[in-house]
Amino acid sequence: MADIQSIKNRFGIIGNSPALNHALDTAIQVAATDLTVLIVGESGVGKEVFSQVIHALSARKHNHFIAVNCGAIPEGTIDSELFGHEKGSFTGAVDSRKGYFETVNGGTIFLDEIGEMPLGTQARLLRVLETGEFIRVGSSKVQKTDVRVIAATNKELFEFAEKGKFRQDLYFRLSTVPIRVPALRDRKEDIVLLFRKFVVDFAERYKTTPIQLDEEAKQLLINYSFPGNVRELKNLAEQISVLSNTNLVTAPILKSFLPDRNSSNRMPVLASQQPHTEFSSEREILYKLFFDMKKDVTELKKMFVEILQNPSLASTAANYTKESLLNDFDVSSNNNNELQHNTLAHHQPQIVQPTILHSNNSTQQPVLLKNDEIHQHEEVEESLNIMDKEKELIIKALKKHKSKRKDASADLGISERTLYRKLKEYDIEDL
């Protein structure tokens, strides 16, 4: 246990919970080997610190260590970043470039958010882990590397693998030695210790008196769920240190700084938080939307042709369309005429129709102008191109959220990394 405590002091790890000690003990034991390690834990628990511990206690400690966030690298360039590329292998490749696996040869590479890595790159990574070989983008020359891989994820990779979003063979290769870092809510005995450490560090940095919590405030802090884990706790400690008017923080004061999680239950659930039972991706949603639109347009065309062939159906079709639209949009009777005009213009294809007049007799038979001659009509269809509609939706989302990509991606039901790739693909600038 003395060895574990010295490691905690060296790397600034605060806490004495059994789950934390077990994770740290596993990291110390596996450090002396070259085994691949998979660190699992929620965002903000400190997974990168464990990778640094493993590297510092290994035989590679005098060689390079590099941390790579796989979720922050665009899908089109991640292969080049990891494995390098040759001059002219793609647009913008004006020179040859070494990748991380070539640069860190003999050292350790930490692949954070490994669950965000594209499937094609996963196949390349598996080859490196199995044989130590890789090929630069645009090259046919096989190169060797001696790099220890430590991966981390806040996802359940086994579930991803079962759904086909992550390679099963890579998952079993990465998880030779799994280390699960506990969430902060699972180590409540460490919360007050961490809070005290953060406020003392803040006070030393800015030459102020550190704040303190009374007993009720401590209990409130311990019972808070901390979805952001240690990162959220640190931000809370610094926020209170700056904004609190007293050095002794009571429970009511602390409560004013804690977010009201209960209010979120009354808010609408975002599309990205709903279970995707019918659709597996946003592209499938767009496909179904456009197919339904095309089906509606086709039915309207068919009805129009039938009216042309049998003019007596015109009045019946008009009454039916009016009733359907009123039922769909649930409007009041005093707005029927205006709503019918707007909704027909929105839902029907833009066509030039033959002019139809009604006589004043009781039968109300339609009369076609110009001796019942039907003039050729011109159809102007709305574009159903998938990429056009996808680009239009992205632009609308960016305008709606004032170019805040995180909010726009949540509204669209896609990840922020996917939105970034779409902006590059469609050459969309922030609005």
Q: Is the pLDDT of residue 227 over 90?
A: yes
Tokens at 395, concatenated: 């632009």
Report whether CATH 1.10.8.60 matches the domain 185-266. yes
Mean per-residue pLDDT, 294-321: 68
Neighbour tally for 143: CB within 10 Å: 17
Which amino acid is residue 176, in one-letter code? Answer: T
Mean per-residue pLDDT, 26-54: 95
Asked if residue 351 lies in contact with residue 379, where contact means CB atoms within 8 angstroms, the answer is: yes
Residues of the chain with CATH 1.10.8.60: 185-266
Residue predicted with more confidence, 106 or 90: 106
Residues of the chain with CATH 3.40.50.300: 2-182
Q: Is the pLDDT of residue 347 over 70?
A: no
What is the Cα–Cα distance from 220 to 238, expressed in whole angstroms?
Answer: 17
Q: What is the pLDDT of residue 401?
A: 84
Residue predicted with more confidence, 285 or 417: 417
Tokens at 235, concatenated: 């931000």
Q: Is the pLDDT of residue 321 over 70?
A: no
Ranking 18-32, 230-244, 320-334 by mean pLDDT, the lowest is: 320-334
Q: Is the pLDDT of residue 224 over 50?
A: yes
What is the Cα–Cα distance from 92 to 385, expressed in whole angstroms?
Answer: 29
What DSSP state is assigned to residue 107?
A: S
Q: What is the pLDDT of residue 76?
A: 86
Tokens at 52, concatenated: 């640094």
Given phi > 0 = left and psi -120 to 50 = alpha, else beta, which region is 88? left
What is the Cα–Cα distance from 319 to 325, expressed in whole angstroms?
Answer: 10
What is the Cα–Cα distance from 71 to 104, expressed in whole angstroms?
Answer: 20
Asked if residue 387 lies in contact with residue 360, where contact means CB atoms within 8 angstroms, the answer is: no
Q: What is the pLDDT of residue 283?
A: 57
Q: Is the pLDDT of residue 58 over 70?
A: yes
The pairing of beta strand 350-351 with beta strand 248-249: unpaired
Q: Is the pLDDT of residue 171 over 60?
A: yes
Residue predicted with more confidence, 114 or 338: 114
Ranking 25-29, 142-146, 310-314, 317-321 by mean pLDDT, the lowest is: 317-321
197-219 tens-digit pLDDT: 999 999 999 999 999 999 999 99
What is the Cα–Cα distance from 322 to 312, expressed in whole angstroms?
Answer: 17
Report whether CATH 3.40.50.300 matches the domain 2-182. yes
Q: What is the pLDDT of residue 381?
A: 54
Q: For residue 70, count CB atoms less than 10 angstroms from its CB and return exposed for 0-12, middle for 13-18, buried for 19 or more.
A: buried
Q: Is the pLDDT of residue 269 over 90?
A: no
Ranking 47-51, 67-71, 260-264 by mean pLDDT, the lowest is: 260-264
Ranking 23-27, 340-344, 416-420 by mean pLDDT, the lowest is: 340-344
What is the Cα–Cα distance from 414 to 281, expressed in whole angstroms?
Answer: 8
Confidence of residue 193 (pLDDT cuts 50, 70, 90): very high
272-297 tens-digit pLDDT: 444 444 444 555 666 566 667 767 77
Per-residue HEC secondary structure of 211-239 comes to: CEECHHHHHHHHHCCCCCHHHHHHHHHHH
Residue predicted with more confidence, 303 or 75: 75
- φ/ψ (deg, to 5) at 212: -135, 155
Mean per-residue pLDDT, 31-52: 95
Instruction: Classify 385-426 by CATH class.
Output: mainly alpha
Mean per-residue pLDDT, 343-353: 44
Tell me, rounded to whole angstroms, the distance of Cα 76 from its chain centroid. Answer: 17
Q: What angle do CA 412, 417, 419 make, to 5 degrees?
A: 40
Residues of the chain with CATH 1.10.10: 385-426
Smallest Cα–Cα separation from 71: which of 147, 153, 128, 149? Answer: 153
Q: What is the pLDDT of residue 46?
A: 92
355-397 tens-digit pLDDT: 444 444 444 444 444 444 444 444 445 566 677 788 888 888 8
Average confidence score pLDDT of the chain: 80
Q: Is the pLDDT of residue 36 over 50?
A: yes
Task: Express as a percent the part of the chain with pLDDT over 70.
Answer: 74
The 3-state DSSP class for residue 135 equals strand
Q: Is the pLDDT of residue 337 over 70?
A: no
Q: What is the pLDDT of residue 185?
A: 94
